[in-house]
Structure 1
Amino acid sequence: MSENHNLLAEQRRALILDEVRKRGGVRVNELTRRLSVSDMTIRRDLDALARQGAVEKVHGGAVPVAEASAHEPGFEAKSTLELSAKEDIARVAAAMAAPGSAIALSGGTTTFALARHLLEVPGLTVVTNSVRVADVFHDAQRPSAGSGRAGAATVVLTGGVRTPSDSLVGPVADRAIDSLHFDVLFLGVHGISVEAGLSTPNLAEAETNRRLVQAARRVVVVADHTKWGTVGLSSFAALEEVDAFVTDAGLSDGVRQEMEEHLPGLVVAGGQEHRRKD
């Protein structure tokens, strides 16, 4: 972790989080020296990371949060995290949806942000198992929403059992998805890693996500940098099944290099955008 006087807060916190994960903990005095910032700045960074649930503060520093692989945060809890990163990701990913195409959006707060940007793409057919995503399109088509939107999307909401993240999963959703075919799937994930691929803490959601991946000609994962290295209870797709991975600029250099080795379709949104193609 090299010194840099001009790091933005989000970049600095990403470096701190990367260091916590690699070393199993950090000390405030070490970080002040390495990042050339004040003790108070580092403590504010650790406070922010602790509020996000990314680290646990201890006397003189911070350590990783020991989160169970089956723990599934609710939609409201996740919606407050990495807001600017999700907007950057959503803006770039929306450009990957061609007018008039059939797309699918999984559940999650990043796909929720993406849905708002997709309102400007004309003629879409949108299949989703997310109640929140469906509401974005529904609300935009109300008379009170105005007439400035592009051609209204046709939205197909799968049935199923509602999860804490407001996704519909289970046999009903799976059967509906099995009969469909999408040009592009925009997929939010709980975790992504080299060993586990794409994973989620919810077993039923894993199976529904697996069906979504199988029904798509192209799979685009949309997830902020904190999801890299996270592993949920159940894996549902390998990295080789991902055509593009859109993330944010909060990556440290080491993490970005590791991701590029395993994800040739990596797209980094925000700041200086970077793309590496097959």
Structure 2
Amino acid sequence: MSDSQNLLAEQRRALILDEVRRRGGVRVNELTRRLKVSDMTVRRDLDALARQGVVEKVHGGAVPVVETSTHEPGFEAKSALELAAKEDIARAAAAMVVPGSAIALSGGTTTYVLAHHLVDVPDLTVVTNSVRVAEVFHAARRAGTAGGDQPGAAMVVLTGGVRTPSDSLVGPVADQTIRSLHFDVLFLGVHGISAQAGLSTPNLGEAETNRRFMRSARRVVVIADHTKWGTVGLSSFATLDQVDTLVTDAGLPEEVREEIAELLPDLVVAGGPEELSPPRDA
């Protein structure tokens, strides 16, 4: 199967998952009409989503999997979701990075996509607790991107620590490394975000490491697609008033954007007709 066909399948599955979550379930015959594909194609898509653990197949369709507050999906399962949204968010976030600055990237699939957009930014110092993010910069250096070993290539610091299912490093070693450093900007991926619970994660170790990241940053930018809004993990690690900017995608409903705009200094909606912060009353 070609790359373009793979991409179409990924986009189609993201649309199906969105529909499942929004409506609480879908039927195969509805999806075939909406997506203009065969019954067999839809069933293969549902099989793939079921293997990722994000939907449950039922007779004639699928329903969402109700996740507990302690459920932590693996990196591969999460990386296949909301691909277009993550790309839009990553492009908008990358535009905020100044050459020569010191930035931090937390673990997560959205920060992983962002890393690919930063390999050509000169003279960056990048601190991360994500094995996957570090691999992006190391691969770029080996391939000669951003000058390879020439001046301009990013200097990358991987914190060390205990590896989580999402390939983040957490725990005392990671926390001690971060505690001694200072960043211009932290780009923070999250499991869940809500008005009441703030930023949350199902992993207690990751919660503490994220707190340490936030204390060491002059500016905190949360990068999260629209499906993260309303999700609450086991441990809250920050309130929304501790966030400087939220970068999300155009799939976020207008009423939610208005709610967030009242809670945060800066909301960037990426991938729409224009990327902007919703207007506020004077």
TM-score normalised by length of structure 1: 0.81
The residue aligned with 1:100 is 100
**AA matched with 2:139:** D
CA distance in 2, matches of 1:49, 1:252: 24
Residue matched to 2:8: none
Does residue 259 of structure 1 match 2:260? yes
The change in CA–CA distance for 1:68 and 1:98 in structure 2 (over 3 A counts) is same
Classify 1:274/1:11 alpha carbon distance in 2 versus 1 (closer, same or farther; 3 Å). farther
**Residue number in structure 1 paired with 2:270:** 269
In the alignment, the residues of structure 1 paired with residue 192 and residue 51 of structure 2 have an alpha-carbon distance, to the nearest angstrom, of 19
Aligned Cα RMSD in Å? Answer: 3.1
1:137 aligned partner: 137
Q: Where does residue 227 of structure 2 map in the other structure?
A: 226
Instruction: Mark the CA change 1:217 to 1:38 in structure 2 (over 3 Å): closer, same or farther.
Output: closer
Shift of 1:65: 2.4
1:103 CA drift (Å): 0.5
**In the aligned structure 2, how far is the partner of 1:219 from the partner of 1:178?**
16
Cα 1:159–1:15 shift into 2, 3 Å: closer
Once the two structures are superposed, the pairs formed by residues 35-50 of structure 1 within 5 Å of their partners are 38=34, 44=42, 47=46
Whole-Å Cα distance in 2 between the matches of residues 251 and 86 of structure 1? 13
The 8 Å contact of residues 264 and 276 in structure 1, kept in 2 or not, is answered as: no
**Is residue 11–residue 251 contact of structure 1 (8 Å, CA) maintained in 2?**
no
Instruction: Encode CA deviations 1:117-156: one digit per residue, 9 max, x unaligned.
Output: 11121111111111111111111111x4356578101111
Contact 2:147 2:153 in 1 (8 A): no
Select between 247-256 and 104-113 the one with higher mean Cα deviation: 247-256
SS of alignment partner, residue 114 of structure 2:
helix
Matches of 2:200 and 2:63, distance apart in 1: 23
1:130 aligned partner, one-letter code: S
SS of equivalent residue, structure 2 residue 268: strand
1:151 maps to: 152
Q: What letter is aligned with 2:137?
A: F
Instruction: Please tell me whether the aligned partners of residues 265 and 275 of structure 1 are also in contact (alpha carbons under 8 angstroms).
Output: no
How much has 1:82 moved relative to structure 2?
Answer: 1.1
Distance in 2 (CA, whole Å) between partners of 1:57 and 1:273 is 37
Assess, with a 3 A threshold, how the Cα gap between structure 1 residues 107 and 63 changes in structure 2: closer, same or farther.
same
The 5 A counterparts of 1:197-216 are 197-216=198-217
Given that 1:15 and 1:251 are in contact with CA atoms closer than 8 Å, whether structure 2 keeps it comes out as no
* 1:229-250 Cα shifts (integer Å, max 9, x gaps): 1111111111101111111112
Cα distance in 2 between the residues matched to 1:77 and 1:86: 14
1:266 maps to amino acid: L
Task: Kindly provide the amino acid, as one letter, of the partner of residue 239 in structure 1.
Answer: L
- Cα gap change, 1:241/1:10 in structure 2, threshold over 3 Å: closer, same or farther? farther
Pairwise CA distance, 1:81: 1.0
Equivalent residue, structure 2, for 1:167: 168
What's the CA shift for 1:39?
9.2
Cα distance in 1 for partners of 2:106, 2:157 equals: 12
1:276 counterpart letter in structure 2: S
| Letter aligned with residue 80 of structure 2 | T
Are the structure 2 counterparts of residues 38 and 98 from structure 1 closer, same or farther at C-alpha, using a change threshold of 3 Å? closer
Question: Match of 1:84?
Answer: 84
Query: Percent identity over the alignment?
Result: 68
Structure 1 residues 262 and 275, CA gap change in structure 2 (3 angstroms): same
**1:191–1:231 contact (8 Å) kept in structure 2:** yes
- C-alpha distance in structure 1 between counterparts of 2:14 and 2:252, whole Å: 7
- In structure 2, the residue matched to 1:240 is 241
CA–CA distance in 2 between the matches of 1:147 and 1:218?
25
**Aligned twin of 2:70:** 70
Aligned residue in 1 for 2:110? 110
**Offset from partner CA, 1:186-227 (integer Å, 9 cap, x none):** 000011111111111110010000000111010001111111
Q: Per the alignment, do residues 276 and 127 of structure 1 end up closer, same or farther by CA in structure 2, a change over 3 Å counting?
A: same
Change (3 A) 1:77 1:39: closer
What residue identity is the alignment partner of 2:94? A
Shift of 1:68: 1.1
Secondary structure at the counterpart of residue 68 of structure 1: coil
- Provide closer, same or farther for how the CA distance between residues 117 and 255 of structure 1 changes in structure 2, counting only shifts above 3 A: same
